[in-house]
C-alpha cells in the first residue's frame, strides 16, 4: 500500500496550485504590462488632445486668413464697382481723365493693400492710372485678366494670377472689372493691383514654426501668395495636391495631416474656401512642432515608468531567487520527510512495510470493511527452517534470502491496496483488503510456488530448497473486532501449516485448536 504524503499547500479535490515562483513571475510581468499600458493610454490621450488643440488653432487661423482675404478683395471690389459705374456713365474722354486720375490716386492712398489702379482701353493700352505718368509700352493685351474680360461679358470682378507690375516690377494680384459702353460692348478693363507684400506682412503677423506654411490660391489651384515667400513658386499649380483633389470636393473647410511631397515633412493643414470669391486659404504647422511638448512629456513619463519597471524587475528578480531558494529548501525538506517516513514505515533491509505501517493500514481497512461490508484477508508466513539456513550459510546469505522472499511478495501484490509486510525476523505478512478466504488462499499458493521457483538452495530443508509456510484468514469486520485477534488467527493458521509439515498454506481451523510451535526453529 502506498504511503500518503501530506501536502499542506494543496487541498484535496482541488486543482494543483500554481508554483509560487511562476505566480510571482506572472505577477511581475502583469504589473509591468499594466504600467506600460497605462503609460501608452495616457500618452495617446495627451497626443490626441494636443492634435485636437492644434486642429482648433488651425481652423481659427484659416478663418482669420479667409476673413482678411475677403475684406481685402471686397474693399478693392467696391472701389472698382463705383469707378466702373462712373466710367461707363461719363466715359473716359480727355475732359474726364484728370479728374479720374485724381480719384484713382486718392482711392489707392485710402487702401493700403492697393499697389495702383489702372484703366485700359479695348486695345489694352493705358488710359488712366493712379500714378502721375502713364507707362509706355505694348500695353496689357497679353495679360490673363484682360483676355478674360475680352472673352466674357460678365461684369463680376475677376481675380487673376499674380503678376509683376509693368509700372515698377512689384508683385501684385490683379482684381479687375469689364468696362462696357451703353450698348454693352467691350470698351476696356478697370484693374486694381493688390500688393503681394500686403499678404506677406499679414502672414508674418502669425507665429509659425520654421517648417510652417501659409498660402493664398485661386480655386483652380494657382498659387497667389505664400509664406515663406518663394518667387519661383508664385503662379505654380496646386491642383494636384490632396487639398484640391480630395479635401475641397468633400468640404469647403477642414483640417488634415498631410506629408509633403516636396520636403517629406508631415504637417497639419487647415484649409478654407472663400464664399464670396474663388479663393482658397491654407495654413500648415509641422507635426513635430505641434507635438514638441508632447514628445518632452512622453520622454519624461517613459523614463519614470522605465525606472519603476526596472525597480519592480529588480525586486521581482530578488524575490524570485528567494522563492527559488525557498522552494529548493522546501523540496529538500519534503524529500527528507519522505525519507524519514520511509524509514519510519518500511523495513530497511527488504523495503517492505514494517509493523507500524501494517497496524495503521489494518485499522484503515477494518474501518472500510465495516462500512462497506467487505472482507479483509491476511496471510502470515515465515521461512521454513530459517535458523538452519543462517547456521549453514551465514547471516549475510540470510539477509539476501530475506530480500528475495520480499521481492516475491512485492510481485504477488498486484493491487495498490495490497500491503506486503516484514512482520519480524523471517516472518512476513500480506494484508489483502476486499478479499475472501478463497482469494487469500489463491495469493498464498502463488507466493509459495514463486518462492520454490526461486530454487534457493537450503541444505537444512527436506526439499533441499527454500520453502515457506503460510497461514490464511479472512472475515468481514463488524466495527468492534480486535486487531490483535485478527492477527492471532492468521498466525494460528500459520502454526497449523507448520504442524502439518511446512511448505504449505493453511486456513485456520478453530475446531482443531491452536497448537503451540517452538519459535526457535520455525
Place of cell 489694352: 124
The predicted pLDDT at position 260 comes to 79
Residue 432 burial (CB count, 10 A)? 24
426 is catalytic: yes
Residue 279 burial (10 A CB sphere; 0-12, 13-18, 19+): buried
Cell numbers for 290: 505641434
Q: What is d(CA 263, CA 332) in angstroms, rounded to the nearest whole number?
A: 69
Residue 328 has pLDDT above 70, yes or no: yes
Question: Does the bond joining 325 to the residue before it have cis omega, within 30 degrees of 0?
Answer: no
**Of the listed 327, 426, 427, 511, which one is catalytic?**
426
Pairing assessment for the beta strands 279-286 and 266-273 based on DSSP bridges? antiparallel
Q: What is d(CA 280, CA 265) in angstroms, rounded to the nearest whole number?
A: 22
Q: What is d(CA 275, CA 388) in angstroms, rounded to the nearest whole number?
A: 127
pLDDT tens sequence across 220-276: 999 999 888 888 889 999 898 899 999 999 999 999 999 876 678 899 999 999 999
pLDDT tens sequence across 335-346: 888 777 777 778
Instruction: Compute CA distances 388 → 38, 396, 397, 508, whole Å.
Output: 84, 14, 12, 27
Q: What are phi and psi of 465, to 5 degrees?
A: -135, 165
Q: What is d(CA 37, CA 209) in angstroms, rounded to the nearest whole number?
A: 33
Residue 129 has pLDDT above 70, yes or no: yes
Residue 486 has pLDDT above 60, yes or no: yes
- Percent of the chain at pLDDT > 90 equals 55
Span 114-140, average pLDDT: 88
- pLDDT confidence bin for 135, thresholds 50/70/90: confident
Nearest to 402 by CA among 342, 456, 445: 456
Instruction: Label each residue of 217-271 as H, E or C.
Output: EECCCEEEEEECCCHHHCCCECCCCHHHHHHHHHCCEEEEEEECCCCCCEEEEEE
Q: Which residues contact 344 (CB under 8 A, 6 or more apart)?
A: 356
Q: Which residues contact 477 (CB under 8 A, 6 or more apart)?
A: 366, 367, 369, 370, 376
Question: Does the bond joining 228 to the residue before it have cis omega, within 30 degrees of 0?
Answer: yes
**Across 9-13, 332-336, 463-467, least confident range:** 9-13
223, 228, 229, 235: CA torsion to nearest 10:
-10
CATH 1.20.1050.10 fits 355-521, yes or no: no
- pLDDT confidence bin for 18, thresholds 50/70/90: low
Cell numbers for 155: 461684369
Instruction: Compute CA distances 354 → 97, 345, 469, whole Å.
Output: 138, 5, 20
The predicted pLDDT at position 483 comes to 86
Residue 14 has pLDDT above 70, yes or no: no
- Percent of the chain at pLDDT > 70 equals 93
pLDDT tens sequence across 413-432: 988 889 999 998 889 999 99
SS3 116: strand
Residue 160 has pLDDT above 90, yes or no: yes
The predicted pLDDT at position 173 comes to 94
Domain locations in the chain as residue ranges: 46-290, 355-521
Instruction: Compute CA distances 346 → 296, 297, 444, whole Å.
Output: 72, 70, 22
pLDDT tens sequence across 178-224: 999 888 899 999 999 999 999 888 888 888 778 888 999 999 999 99
Residue 506 burial (10 A CB sphere; 0-12, 13-18, 19+): buried
Query: Quick check: pTM over 0.75?
Result: no
Contact in structure between 158 and 190 (CB atoms under 8 Å): no
- Mean pLDDT rounded to a whole number for the chain: 87
- pLDDT confidence bin for 510, thresholds 50/70/90: low
Cell numbers for 455: 530454487
Q: What are phi and psi of 440, to 5 degrees?
A: -65, -45
**Across 93-97, 116-120, 157-161, least confident range:** 93-97
CATH class, domain 46-290, is alpha beta
Cell numbers for 518: 517452538
Span 278-297, average pLDDT: 91
Q: Which residues contact 165 (CB under 8 A, 6 or more apart)?
A: 115, 116, 171, 172, 193
46-290 and 355-521, same CATH topology: no
Half-sphere exposure of 376 (CA within 13 A, CB side): 27
The predicted pLDDT at position 232 comes to 86
Q: What is d(CA 326, CA 107) in angstroms, rounded to the nearest whole number?
A: 96
pLDDT tens sequence across 19-40: 777 887 888 888 889 989 999 9
Amino acid at each position: 500500500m502506498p504511503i500518503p504524503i501530506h501536502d499542506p499547500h494543496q487541498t484535496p479535490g482541488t486543482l494543483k496550485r500554481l508554483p509560487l515562483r511562476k505566480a510571482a513571475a506572472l505577477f511581475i510581468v502583469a504589473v509591468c504590462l499594466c504600467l506600460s499600458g497605462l503609460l501608452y493610454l495616457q500618452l495617446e490621450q495627451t497626443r490626441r488632445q494636443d492634435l485636437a488643440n492644434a486642429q482648433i488653432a488651425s481652423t481659427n487661423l484659416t478663418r482669420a486668413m479667409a476673413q482678411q482675404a475677403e475684406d481685402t478683395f471686397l474693399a478693392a471690389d467696391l472701389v472698382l464697382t463705383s469707378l466702373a459705374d462712373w466710367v461707363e456713365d461719363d466715359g473716359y474722354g480727355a475732359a474726364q481723365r484728370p479728374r479720374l486720375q485724381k480719384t484713382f490716386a486718392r482711392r489707392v492712398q485710402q487702401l493700403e493693400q492697393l499697389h495702383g489702379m489702372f484703366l485700359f482701353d479695348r486695345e489694352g493700352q493705358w488710359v488712366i492710372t493712379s500714378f502721375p505718368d502713364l507707362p509706355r509700352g505694348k500695353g496689357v493685351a497679353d495679360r490673363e485678366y484682360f483676355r478674360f474680360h475680352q472673352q466674357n461679358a460678365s461684369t463680376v470682378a475677376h481675380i487673376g494670377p499674380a503678376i509683376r507690375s509693368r509700372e515698377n516690377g512689384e508683385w501684385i494680384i490683379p482684381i479687375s472689372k469689364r468696362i462696357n459702353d451703353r450698348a454693352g460692348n467691350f470698351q476696356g478693363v478697370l484693374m486694381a493691383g493688390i500688393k503681394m507684400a500686403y499678404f506677406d506682412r499679414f502672414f508674418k503677423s502669425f507665429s509659425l514654426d520654421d517648417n510652417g506654411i501659409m498660402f493664398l490660391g485661386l480655386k483652380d489651384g494657382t498659387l497667389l501668395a505664400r509664406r515663406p515667400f518663394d518667387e519661383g513658386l508664385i503662379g505654380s499649380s496646386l491642383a494636384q495636391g490632396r487639398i484640391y483633389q480630395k479635401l475641397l470636393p468633400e468640404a469647403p473647410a477642414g483640417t488634415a495631416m498631410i506629408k509633403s511631397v516636396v520636403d517629406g515633412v508631415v504637417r497639419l493643414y487647415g484649409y478654407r474656401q472663400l464664399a464670396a470669391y474663388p479663393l482658397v486659404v491654407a495654413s500648415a504647422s509641422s507635426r513635430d512642432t505641434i507635438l514638441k511638448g508632447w514628445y518632452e512629456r512622453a520622454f519624461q513619463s517613459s523614463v519614470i515608468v522605465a525606472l519603476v519597471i526596472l525597480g519592480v524587475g529588480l525586486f521581482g528578480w530578488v524575490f524570485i531567487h528567494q522563492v527559488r531558494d525557498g522552494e529548493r529548501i522546501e523540496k529538500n525538506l519534503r524529500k527528507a520527510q519522505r525519507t524519514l517516513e520511509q524509514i519510519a514505515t518500511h523495513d530497511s533491509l527488504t523495503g517492505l512495510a514494517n509493523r507500524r505501517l501494517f497496524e495503521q493500514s489494518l485499522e484503515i481497512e477494518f474501518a472500510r470493511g465495516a462500512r462497506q461490508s467487505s472482507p479483509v484477508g491476511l496471510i502470515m508466513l515465515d521461512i521454513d527452517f530459517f535458523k538452519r539456513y543462517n547456521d549453514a550459510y551465514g547471516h549475510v546469505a540470510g539477509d539476501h534470502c530475506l530480500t528475495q522472499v520480499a521481492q516475491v511478495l512485492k510481485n504477488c501484490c498486484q493491487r495498490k491496496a495490497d500491503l506486503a509486510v516484514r512482520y519480524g525476523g523471517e516472518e512476513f505478512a500480506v494484508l489483502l483488503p476486499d478479499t475472501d478466504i478463497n482469494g487469500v488462499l489463491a495469493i498464498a499458493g502463488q507466493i509459495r510456488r514463486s518462492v520454490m521457483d526461486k530454487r534457493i538452495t537450503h541444505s537444512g530443508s527436506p526439499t533441499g530448497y527454500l520453502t515457506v509456510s503460510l497461514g490464511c484468514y479472512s472475515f468481514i469486520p463488524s466495527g468492534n473486532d480486535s486487531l490483535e485477534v485478527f492477527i492471532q488467527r492468521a498466525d494460528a493458521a500459520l502454526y497449523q501449516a507448520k504442524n502439518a509439515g511446512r511448505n504449505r498454506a493453511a486456513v485456520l481451523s478453530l475446531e482443531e485448536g491452536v497448537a503451540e510451535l517452538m519459535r526457535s526453529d520455525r
